[in-house]
Structure 1
Amino acid sequence: MVQALRRKGDKEGEVMWQYVLNCLGRLRHEGMSDEEDAVETTLSEGRETRIQVRHVTELSWRHPSFRRLFEMVDRTREVEDTIFSRQGRPPIKRIRVDANPAKQRSPPTGLPTSFFEPGHLQELAKYPYQIDDLKLSKKDFPLHEVPDLPDF
């Protein structure tokens, strides 16, 4: 995406996708949502239809702005024709779901404080060793607003 936007001369888009890459690099695999295959049943014209979907588990400790950011990343296939062709099978619908607290993945160490949902850090602050275990980054990392994508 960075290269495609650079070729188009879209500086704003290029900066946004550099930001996405920066966030992904900092979150690493451990900071990403878990995914599970599921089946969704819909009713259309009196008929039940079952479709394959993917449940993407939200991480309660992650700052809420990441939800919108990753929704934008997921929808890029729908809006970016220069990279993604519309041939072959359609992509599996991704549905964001809240995590069962018992199955919640812990955050990776070394993240900036801005990556956390503020209430999460406040809760951990009751037990200072838990904050210490996170080895929070000393570097500031400002979070950006994610632009709206058109509805399809």
Structure 2
Amino acid sequence: MDLQVIGIGYWDDRPAPEGSSPVPLYLASGVFEEAAGGGELTYREPALPPERRGEDVIANLGALGGEIAAAVAAGVRAGERVAVVGGNCSHLPGILGGLRDAHGPAARIGLVWFDAHGDFNTPRTTPSGMLGGMPVAVSAGLCYAPWREGSGLAAPLPT
């Protein structure tokens, strides 16, 4: 079966420092060709266009999330399996936005989240203020609507 790999070379809204992204190592290892099992392998690397980058990190995350969503939706619509690699937790809304876009607004999109923490904090509940601890809450509509909506997730995931 065909496989589309979406490599995210960002930490939150900033490009990952040189040499810190695992994506080039994955690409060089041949693991994706093996996962494609003889099917076609495509690779996309969504990027935040420089003209869309501003001072507002939340708006930037929404804009980058929209690029991620477009890549995910394109792969799903093409009938490919989609693997998202690299990036960090803050890119979840874009992945979910792409699934919602590809499957339609009435589709029931589920989420099972495995991580060292729940990523369900909001600006009011976070002990650290770290945005990487909020993407599940953002996707559920509990905070930062511009991040969620910019990522193509118009309606929040129900909790």
TM-score normalised by structure 1 residue count? 0.22
Q: Which has the higher contact order (CA 8 A, sep 6+)?
A: 2
TM-score normalised by structure 2 residue count? 0.22
